[in-house]
Structure 1
Amino acid sequence: MLRSRAALGVAFLAVHLWIGLVGTVLIPTKAFWDLDLYRWWMWQGLHQGIWPVLDGDWVYPAGAVVPMLLPGLVDTWDTRTYAVAWTVLITALNALAAWTLLRVAGHRAVTGVWWWLGFIVLLGPVAVGRLDAVVAPLVVTALALALRHPAVASALLTFGAWVKVAPGALLLPLVMIVRRPWRTLVLPAASVCVVIAGIVAAGGGLSHLFSFLGEQGERGLQLESVAATAWVLRGLVDDGVRIWMNDDIITWEIAGPGTATMSGLLGYALPVALAAATGLLFWVRRRAGDQLDHAAFLARSALLIALVLIVANKVGSPQFIGWLAGPVVVGLARPGRESLRSWRVIAVLVLVIAALTQGVFPLAYDAITAGAFGASLLLVARNLLLVVTLVLVTRSLWRMGRSDRVDALSPAAA
């Protein structure tokens, strides 16, 4: 039954219909609130000629206008209609990604797609009702095609970076395993950048092209971030720690002794952590040499980078957890020389993280912002599991470098 593609198709539609129902009918103001903001921006553009990036600084990269505009062509007046159109768009993108994965990996991909559906259900509305929902299918498609069509993967990841930044970092492991990276990776990526920059320049917004970098830099320590965990716990017993709404960027942040320092340090810690992750990947690639299992290396490396971007970030929005889906889906579908068993613990941990994240938002978010004890512990548990998963993925890559090197030097390999 689980291997039946017909059953998989029915489940796929049921999952997306359920999330759409939650976001547009049951709890729209909690689940799909961001979509009203997207609709408003597109209404301004289509009806007043005031476009994000073209006419001022924006919190998102310029490419984010594209997915926001498509449902806006259906309706920018009614939020529910816009939300329905958005849900259809995400469903179509996810379907295309799943179809691509099934075409590339065959019956092995069925396990990965079933896992993905479970992940979407457990993560809940943020798996569909946020901009990051566009990123997940782009990453799945890119990683599925990366070994056979690296130029296509590079273009998809670069466009994804112009939507929400994070996918661009996944080019790092890809650079390490493809031949002629300048031709197959750099040129497609540069072409996408030139097209987007050219469109923005033609619209008169070139001076705002990188404004999203400054917007993010002005943030404080977000309540849900992993780095805020200690202050979330301290706030349960210390009135000197407070949770407040940053009205400028409409985000809940936490403030107390040391939070400003931590926020500033994370501005340096994130690039340092990414550099360390890159160093580990180079080490694994060099140690393993021709014995490297490219499929396993790519999926695990992508998961490592996604986890680093979450754990070492002063922003901790619940939709960031969606970044973990693509690497796990592809890892389960294309395990390379690894067995599916090697992915089992990671896959289960990420599902638990997704479920806890839905518990945090939208289910217990009001209680967390009010400093409630039980709800706050839910957030703490989620953050600790993120750290545990990061450690396990790091260890698995370390072992990949050591074991592949041993295999390569063994008499049997010779």
Structure 2
Amino acid sequence: MNRLRVTPGPVLALTAIWLTTRALMLWLLAHNSARLLGGGSVSREVWRLYVHWYGVLAHGSFPVHDTLWQYPPGAGAVLLAPGLLPGLTYFQAFVALTLAADALTAAALLRAGTRPGRSQLGAAVWTGGLPLLLHLPLARYDLQVTALAVLSLLAVARSPRAGGVFGALGALVKVWPALVLLGVPRGRPARTAWAWAAAASAACLVPLALLLDHPLSFLREQGGRGVQIESLGGTALNLARHAGWPGRSRYRYGAIELVGPHVQAVATASLALTALCLGLLVLWRVRARHWSEATPYDAALSAVLLFTVTSRVISPQYMIWLIGLAAVCLTSRRTSQRPVAVLILAAAAVSTVAYPMYYQEVVHGTWAGCLLMLVRNGLLTAAAVLSFARLWRAARPASGKAGPPMEPRPGPHRLPERALSVS
């Protein structure tokens, strides 16, 4: 018996849209030397920085004393992977693997949307939302990380083990996918997911540490980061320049940061806000009384949004994460995050205007640059607040009213009923 209700019309339409938009993104990448496309800055990260790191990694060591290397050991495996494709330059191989991860993500979302009670809107958001960032997603390894996070969320309901493994792999590459396991229902599903995540992390870290020297070198450089010009704090400081603040922008730690009086105070405030958000998320998990099939998805999006907007760094590629998580939420008809997804897509479009199109305006802190950042970061802040508020309400149904139960899932990996409504 076929468990999936496949409607060929939407599938063919989304496939055609994916092929068309990705061809356009490749064309933009090939012509990215145009001023409005960043003057070559988008692709430069791959053919200059990633290639350099590939050479260091290929010689048996993680980059050490390199202020730009701020990533966990799993990132080394991703950056070494293009070397496995014969007959291609590093840049070509990297883009090919990135497109493969993109296609895998779209296929997983599409398959999830064809199940009974699900929606193909998630696949549509990923397919049509990612090109809002133009060619940027093809020249950053954040797409591969997002693919692992998406696979973790889509797998965790049917198999907490697989969900934990994919989440761990993502966290080993760029930390934040560890948050996708936040919403796994309490009890056996959560214990299983986190136990397998821990086991997968150890199983991957040990060989990486044996094969490559200095696996923890990234910790020293990560701690030295300041306030990036595109963060909430950076936007406030950029506005302060028009009121006489004497600070300036400078390239540090792989990004344009602001230096001058009170920058350290702004950085400390950002860290304090991140800690506060962590406390709110823990409080939500402790007090939540109802889980639906969408709760793990909604919790993941809310957590990553909160950590993003309070970060000292909000790079344009962070929007890839948010589009991917929003797409997962929209595969479920029970999600509480539909208006949040709209805000994220709007923020992605504005982010593209800021970078790469008018990045110099942002760097120099002109009124136009400040306005772009105010709009982009305002949309993200509104999305984060709305996301957490809706997550909180969805997990605490009104007194005397039971929330909608999670739909039963066929097969041997069905979650136990006690995991669906926790008292």
1:105 maps to 113
Match of 1:193?
201
Aligned AA (1:13) = L
* Shift in Å, 1:222: 0.8
Task: Compute the displacement of 1:235 (Å).
Answer: 1.7
SS for the counterpart of 2:71 is: coil
TM-score with structure 1 setting the length: 0.86
Residue identity opposite 2:266 in structure 1:
M
- Partner residue, 2:190: 181
Q: Deviations over 1:263-312 (max 9, x none)?
A: 1343343233212222123312xx33xxx31x221121111111111111
Uncovered stretches (5+) of structure 2, i.e. residues with no partner:
1-6, 34-38, 405-420
Q: State whether structure 2 residue 349 is matched by structure 1 residue 355.
A: yes
CA distance in 2, matches of 1:236, 1:363: 22
TM-score by length of 2: 0.84
Out of 276, 280, 283, the residue aligned to residue 280 of structure 2 is: 276
Q: Counterpart of 2:144?
A: 134
**CA distances 1:61-84 after superposition (whole Å, capped 9, x unpaired):** 1111122112233479x9xx4333
Q: Displacement, 1:178? A: 5.7
Matched, 1:229 2:235: yes
Change (3 A) 1:317 1:409: closer
Find the aligned partners of 1:343 and 1:86 in 2 and give their Cα distance.
Answer: 33
- Find the aligned partners of 2:197 and 2:396 in 1 and give their Cα distance: 32
Which blocks of at least 5 consecutive residues in structure 1 are unaligned? none
| Aligned partner of 1:217 among 197, 213, 223 | 223
Structure 1 SS opposite 2:249: strand
Q: Which of these residues, 210, 231, 234, is aligned with residue 202 of structure 1? A: 210
Maintained 8 Å contact 1:61/1:212: yes
Amino acid at match of 1:19: M
1:32 aligned residue = 43
The count of aligned residue pairs is 390
Give 1 or 2: higher helix fraction: 1
Structure 1 Cα separation of the partners of residues 147 and 158 of structure 2:
18
Q: Secondary structure at the match of 1:371?
A: coil
Change (3 A) 1:300 1:407: same
Output the amino acid matched with 1:126.
Answer: L
Aligned to 2:100: 92
Whether contact under 8 Å (1:150, 1:178) holds in the other structure is no
What is the alpha-carbon distance in structure 2 between the residues aligned to residue 56 and residue 195 of structure 1?
26
**Correspondences of 1:7-406 after superposition (within 5 Å):** 7-27=13-33, 29-36=40-47, 37-46=49-58, 49-52=59-62, 58-74=69-85, 81-106=89-114, 108-174=118-184, 176-177=185-186, 179-182=188-191, 184-203=192-211, 205=213, 208-238=214-244, 240-246=246-252, 249-284=253-288, 287-288=289-290, 292-293=291-292, 295-336=293-334, 338=335, 343-403=337-397, 405-406=399-400
Cα distance between partner residues in 2 of 1:71 and 1:386: 33
**Runs of 4+, deviation exceeding 6 Å:** 54-57
User: What percentage of aligned pairs have identical amino acids?
Assistant: 29
> In the TM superposition, what is the alpha-carbon distance from 1:404 to its structure 2 partner?
5.3
The one-letter code sitting in structure 2 at the alignment partner of 1:277 is L
Q: Which amino acid aligns with 1:282?
A: V
